[in-house]
Amino acid sequence: MLTSPPKLYRPFLSGRYTVSAGLYRLGVQAVPWVGPDASSVLEGHTFALDRESPRFVASKAAAHRRALHEYAGEAGLTPELREAALSFVARTLARESGGVMTWDGRTFTNHALGWSADLGLRWGRLKDLRRFNAPLAPLIADLTPVNALDFLGLNAQEDLAIIARHPDGGDWLAAVHVLSPQHWDPRDKLGRDFVAVHEPVAGSGPMNATAARLVDAVISRGPFVRFAWGVAMSDRLDHHPVAPLDPDRNPDTHFDPERAFLRVERQTLTGFPEAHGALFTIRPYISPLPEVVADPAHARLLAAALRTMTPGQVAYKGLVPLLPDLLAWLDGLDSDG
Ligand code: HEM
């Protein structure tokens, strides 16, 4: 678990960049392009714990210390939906942690981080935080989680969000604990509906036109997994718009293959129809670009996929200053091979 390398996902091997639902039914439909040999794999998990865990915890702890309120909050979350979503998180996170974490319905313990707490999931309460010696305990020694969602989120590598739907039909983002956002501000999204959340995404018109159906599928027909991807010029996890600047999306940064990364977000959606909502998880996977396209056929498909982006999408993905050099480099790899 804590020693396994992060998985490599290469969604660009479709040879196209699309702004579309791209939902795979977890445990039912195989995900293509997984692992070193880009094979089809049937995945059933929500949470993945791997050797990157200390880096995620350190990054989440830094965001927490800097300004938790810029990353996390609730908007009209009902006790029923809070309880449904958080008990799924506690149960599933523990079950998928290979024994690193445990949950007995009252106490959640993380044996790597060396802390445990009693959680009241209906009202989001956290009581009796206890700390003990453990390998990663120094990472969170000075941190005090503010509620059950915050505590659970700090134990996971994934970020968490909860979508709610009014019985009359309207949906809204009812909770966020997103400490590794990719150039968006969770405060701009909290309380907004699917369409408003996705309005800045270039080319999201057709997807947004089907928002009601998508939200319905997510709540009543999941669980699903989907992927988003882009090229980043740093491996930093937290790209909150007001976090300290780094080379990614910095107009002064030029493309350099040795400093470029593929950032894939693996996202899952699990519905709670009785509680009128769903849990959305986001897990970034950041891999050095030269490793990702070591096979010339992969370099060719990444170049092909990038060439299908509209100018608006190139701008939205922060690629305007990078794309010509990135494509020239990829084309060179392909012709070398
Ligand atoms: C059926 C469920 C969903 C689908 C199909 C979907 C689809 C997408 C797509 C295609 C993009 C563009 C990705 C890109 O950069 O290439 C996107 C971006 C995004 N999605 Fe979703 N999404 C879903 C659910 C959610 C939920 C529940 C949230 C709540 C946090 C969310 C938050 C975002 C954000 C914040 C962005 C980036 C927007 C920005 O840059 O301001 N999505 N989504």
- Of all protein residues, the one whose alpha carbon is nearest to atom 19 of ligand 1 is 198
* DSSP bridge partners of 63: none
| Each residue's pLDDT tens digit, 240-261 | 999 888 999 998 899 999 999 9
β-pairing, 261-272 vs 277-288, is antiparallel
Burial of 232 (0-12, 13-18, 19+ CB in 10 A): buried
What spacing in Å lies between the alpha carbon of 198 and ligand 1's midpoint? 6
Gap from CA of 74 to ligand 1 centroid (Å): 18
Give the contacts of 40 (CB within 8 A, at least 6 positions apart). Answer: 30, 31, 32, 33, 34
Segments making up each domain of the chain, as ranges: 11-336
| Model pLDDT, residue 251 | 87
Any atom of ligand 1 within 6 Å of the Cβ of 19: yes
Residue 69 confidence (pLDDT): 98
CA 129 from chain center: how many Å?
Answer: 27
Å from CA of 332 to ligand 1 middle: 33
Task: Give the Å distance between the CA of 52 and the centre of ligand 1.
Answer: 24
- Ligand 1 centre to CA of 85 (Å) is 19
3-state helix, strand, coil in the chain (%, to 5): 35, 25, 40
**pLDDT value of position 334:** 74
* C-beta of 200 in contact with ligand 1 (< 6 A): yes
CA angle 151, 218, 148 (to 5 degrees): 10
Q: Is 190 in the pocket of ligand 1 (CB under 6 A)?
A: no
Closest residue (by CA) to atom 6 of ligand 1? 21
Integer CA distances (angstroms), 288 to 17, 110, 111, 212, in order: 20, 30, 30, 37
Indicate the top mutation candidate among 71, 201, 208 to test ligand 1's pocket, ranked by most ligand atoms within 8 A of CB. Answer: 201
**Nearest partner of 17 among 240, 316, 247, 280, judged by Cα:** 316
Handedness of CA 200, 76, 89, 102 (dihedral sign): positive
Summarised one tens digit per residue, pLDDT across range 56-110 is 999 999 999 999 999 999 999 999 999 999 999 999 999 999 999 999 999 999 9
Residue 154 contacts residue 143 (beta carbons within 8 Å): yes
Residue 97 structure tokens: 């942690």
Q: Closest Cα to atom 13, ligand 1: which residue?
A: 228
Q: State residue 9 phi and psi, 5-degree precision.
A: -115, 135
Tell how far the Cα of 21 is from the centroid of ligand 1, in angstroms.
Answer: 9
Whole-number Å distance, alpha carbon 88 to ligand 1 midpoint, is 22
If you measure from the C-alpha of residue 139 to the centroid of ligand 1, how many angstroms do you get, rounded to a whole number?
30
Question: Among 12, 195, 198, which residue has the most ligand 1 atoms within 8 Å of its CB, making it the best to mutate?
Answer: 198
Fill in the amino acid letter for 26: L
Ligand 1 pocket check for 189: Cβ under 6 Å = yes
- Ligand 1 pocket member 163 (CB < 6 A): yes
Q: Which atom of ligand 1 is nearest to the CA of 21?
A: 5
Residue 175 sits at φ, ψ, to 5 deg, of -160, 145
Q: Which amino acid is at 153?
A: G
Rounded to whole angstroms, the Cα distance separating 61 from 52 reads: 14
The answer to whether 188 and 78 are in contact (CB under 8 A) is no
Instruction: Indicate if ligand 1 lies below 6 Å from the C-beta of 21.
Output: yes
pLDDT for position 336: 65
pLDDT value at position 305?
98
Residue 227 Cβ contacting ligand 1 at under 6 Å: no
DSSP, collapsed to helix, strand or coil, labels residue 64 as: helix
Measured between alpha carbons, how far is 16 from 31 in angstroms, rounded to an integer?
A: 16
Q: What is the DSSP string of 286-334?
A: EEEHHHHT-SHHHHHHHHHHHHTS-HHHHHHTT-TTTHHHHHHHHHHHH
Residue 229 bridge partners (DSSP): 264
Q: What is the pLDDT of residue 337?
A: 56
Tell me, using a 6 A CB cutoff, whether residue 280 lines ligand 1. yes
Residues of the chain where predicted confidence (pLDDT) is lower than 50: none
Chain mean position to CA 158: 6
Instruction: List residues bridging with 41 in a β-sheet.
Output: 31
